[in-house]
Structure 1
Amino acid sequence: MSDIILKVENLSKQYRLGLVGADTISDDLKRLWYKVRGKDDPFLKVGDANDRSAKQNSDYVWALQDINFEVKQGEVLGIIGKNGAGKSTLLKILSKITRPTTGSIKSRGTVASLLEVGTGFHGELTGKENIYLNGAILGMTKKEVASKIDDIIAFSGCERYIDTPVKRYSSGMSVRLAFAVAAFLEPDILIIDEVLTVGDAEFQKKAIGKMQDISQGEGRTVLFVSHNMAAVKTLCTRAIILEHGKIVFEGETDKAVSYYLKGDATHNNSKVFGAKYENTIFNLEKIIIKNTNKDKNKPIVESDEIEIITNIIFKNADVSRYHITYHLYNELGEALFSFSHPEINLNKGSNELRCYFPSNFLQSGEYFLSFFIIEDNKKAVFHERDIISFIIVDRARELGAYMGKEPGYIRPVFKWINKMK
């Protein structure tokens, strides 16, 4: 018997844009007329690619187009892509929440999905009642669910509220219970969207460990969507990358993560500047962020030293009046710290400033740099917020099991002494 548990062939999904969410009557009549005459659906020949940032002319858009892949039993497939790439649409089709426009899906066994907070829950029912409801949806008997309910409740950490309607649960509690139900009721295919990020650090560690047990120990299949590249590298045996509704890469997880992180100029760890960044005082040429002694196109890992290289030309003879300052922000827009070059003087002409962050200083995540040129320590003659962004990934896969991201954004190394008596 083949070990292929899920096969997707020529899958496409088309949506109509604008205030009208579904097809108009005229569109339906046109489709019917073409069908009666034995012709193909005329609207399958129209529609723009799934590019949310581009203005296009058609009222139809292909959220997914010509998707083909296979998943083996026991495999953990990572699905990577930017917001709007089509990841959630794909998972909804695989979960049979919505139907594809064209193509087919062949699968074996039961499918459980966790796509958003409270997926599959009835708000008026208690947590315990929802466990039995989800078990019934998955085709399990009441006796089978009862044999696992203690484990589900214990894993979720919601025992005190298990007899309370889930409409009174926080989003984190809902995710805890939903994941516990999906994991312990033993579906053959478990589909998980980015929803786990709603949970706290403790629960993320438990969830990731449980997914490893499901795939490695129990031989079940997991489809995992996340923007956390460290978790993807740790969990997934293979990955696909979606861009504008199409698969642009399929292969080993490490190669997929590298492709994804360097696939966008804003996350390519380097930026070359044009005429906008030149005036009578300076000419900002480029900024490069990378691991020291590594190629700029390689992903930045937190366990190695990081260097920020700034190439800038100063035209003013009195360069001593100026200095450069950076502000570092996290993905929430929160300022982490600022830094400058107090012991390094700028020169008239070309300057290549190099700033070094020690290894394990910044945690994995997305960061944004704002750039300032300060005159006479009083005013900024130039500044730009988020002049460049970069992503730092965790090397946890090489060190062992990924246990989730620690709190905070920096990882300071302090001096410790064990002063024995």
Structure 2
Amino acid sequence: MAGVKALVGKSETETANREFWALRDINFDVAQGEVVGVIGRNGAGKSTLLKLLSRITHPTEGRIEIQGRVGSLLEVGTGFDRELTGRENTYLNGAILGMRKKEIDRKFDEIVAFAEIEKFIDTPVKRYSSGMYTRLAFAVAAHLEPEILIIDEVLAVGDARFQARCLGKMGDVAKQGRTVLFVSHNMAAVTSFCPRTIWLDRGHVKEIGSTQGIVTRYLQHGGEDSGHVRFDTAAAPGSDAVRLLGVRTRNGAGQTTNTFGTNERIRVELDYETLRPTKGLRLGVTLVGSGGETVLSSKDLDVFDPDLARPAGRHISTCEIPANFLNIGQFFLSVGSDFPMVQGHFNVDRVLTFTVEASADMVGGHVPDSRAGLIRVQLPWTMESANGVGTQSSSD
């Protein structure tokens, strides 16, 4: 059987003379052909668990029993040599997975076609865009027929079309009787793809069971609800270049709050410190609805010069969600920062939760209906009489 059985003890590092258990008392079974989601906030132990299952690292205590060949996609392009071409990396990764050259030859054209990089297959991957890099990495991992496929947040990069193709391919893999472990912050993808889910929280299994119920409880469980979260300097998420000090949501009057009317704009402030002068630093926010659907994501390099110089010191970056944009409901805010395609600094999932409530002068407020969807914007409409007499239009 190509399944996974894990009884993992504690994995520890020594920080400030204290023990830190990345995982503790993890105990679960995954049967052959199962598709299982793994969810949890950043720091819950998800990536550590997958590295243990992939045998990249070994548990300090406990044991892991795996029956079958494992293929892993833990980060975009894991195992790729940036100096090698796409063709060379395909064969290299296949060899790492234990495939013979004849097996890779048989699958090669299919891999390249899926990745849609036929014209660039003999180009060094260091010249690939992030999308090309991701497509090839996923194609190699999914097409070389491991009995167990372990995927960590592959849908974090790529457009909607590529994400849909990834899910379709993972579904094909599962139908062939192979086992899939899928880590993602995309709750809609986990819900649609994984019948069973493992919820990790601070290195422990909080719950295992039916995905729909677990996702609902997970979304209700997390998120700071005061409108402001601060991080102690010693424990602030970040790297040797930048660290996150706090996140705040304010209304148009500048008040810190976690409750907004539909007619109020929402200001999201990221308080951070650069530890040295930087160029090319990117910060971003992602907004998720109560059902796990991604509403939007925004990056500051969409509007700033990519070579923007930020001196060492403390900064506050602000983005604004316009009034009369979000529908009534609860929303979860995640924040992140990186040097694109070079280094990640922090990625804090569901750092804040806020609620949007009905306003008296909300869009469509004169007809107090409950509308479907996550946004509630006023779109332009026109009306033209069939006999050509009289027209009306709404303002944009």
Give the TM-score range, shorter chain: 0.5 to 0.7
What does residue 164 of structure 1 align with? 123
AA in 2 matched with 1:335? E
Distance 1:358 1:78 in 2: 29
Distance 1:336 1:162 in 2: 41
**Could you say if the C-alpha distance between residues 391 and 184 of structure 1 is closer, same or farther in structure 2, counting changes exceeding 3 Å?**
farther
Shift of residue 124 of structure 1?
A: 2.1
**Could you say if the C-alpha distance between residues 367 and 87 of structure 1 is closer, same or farther in structure 2, counting changes exceeding 3 Å?**
closer
List alignment gaps of at least 5 residues for structure 2: 228-254, 269-284, 287-297, 299-317, 336-349, 357-373, 387-396
What does residue 181 of structure 1 align with? 140
Q: CA-atom RMSD, angstroms?
A: 3.7
Is contact 1:327–1:337 with CA below 8 Å preserved after alignment? yes
1:143-162 aligned at under 5 Å gives the runs 143-162=102-121
Q: The residue matched to 1:208 in structure 2 has which SS?
A: helix
Distance 1:66 1:96 in 2: 18
TM-score by length of 1: 0.59
What does residue 233 of structure 2 align with? none
What does residue 195 of structure 1 align with? 154
Q: The residue matched to 1:12 in structure 2 has which SS?
A: coil
Distance 2:138 2:3 in 1: 22
**Could you say if the C-alpha distance between residues 94 and 417 of structure 1 is closer, same or farther in structure 2, counting changes exceeding 3 Å?**
farther
List alignment gaps of at least 5 residues for structure 1: 18-56, 270-283, 290-306, 309-323, 340-354, 369-385, 393-408
Distance 2:71 2:152 in 1: 12
Distance 1:230 1:185 in 2: 27
| Alignment counterpart, residue 15 of structure 1, candidates 13, 16, 31 | 13
Shift of residue 357 of structure 1?
A: 2.8
Q: The residue matched to 2:72 in structure 1 has which SS?
A: strand
Q: The residue matched to 1:77 in structure 2 has which SS?
A: strand
Shift of residue 266 of structure 1?
A: 2.6
Q: The residue matched to 2:57 in structure 1 has which SS?
A: coil
Is contact 1:193–1:225 with CA below 8 Å preserved after alignment? yes
Shift of residue 268 of structure 1?
A: 11
Is contact 1:124–1:167 with CA below 8 Å preserved after alignment? yes
**Could you say if the C-alpha distance between residues 181 and 226 of structure 1 is closer, same or farther in structure 2, counting changes exceeding 3 Å?**
same
Distance 1:175 1:247 in 2: 30
Q: The residue matched to 1:257 in structure 2 has which SS?
A: helix
What does residue 231 of structure 1 align with? 189
AA in 1 matched with 2:13? Y
Post-superposition CA distance 1:394-415 (Å, at most 9, x none): xxxxxxxxxxxxxxx8475776
Distance 1:170 1:185 in 2: 23
- Asked if 1:357 corresponds to 2:327, the answer is yes
Distance 1:419 1:181 in 2: 57
What is the aligned length?
A: 283
Counting aligned pairs with the same residue, the percent is 49
TM-score by length of 2: 0.63
What does residue 4 of structure 2 align with? 6
Higher Cα radius of gyration: 1
AA in 2 matched with 1:244? R
Post-superposition CA distance 1:178-203 (Å, at most 9, x none): 10001111111111111331222221
**Could you say if the C-alpha distance between residues 267 and 68 of structure 1 is closer, same or farther in structure 2, counting changes exceeding 3 Å?**
farther
Shift of residue 326 of structure 1?
A: 4.4
Is contact 2:4–2:29 with CA below 8 Å preserved after alignment? yes
| Alignment counterpart, residue 132 of structure 1, candidates 91, 100, 103 | 91
Distance 2:382 2:3 in 1: 52
Distance 1:149 1:208 in 2: 20
Is contact 2:45–2:200 with CA below 8 Å preserved after alignment? yes
| Alignment counterpart, residue 327 of structure 1, candidates 266, 282, 291 | 266
Distance 1:113 1:418 in 2: 58
AA in 2 matched with 1:249? E
Is contact 1:261–1:391 with CA below 8 Å preserved after alignment? no
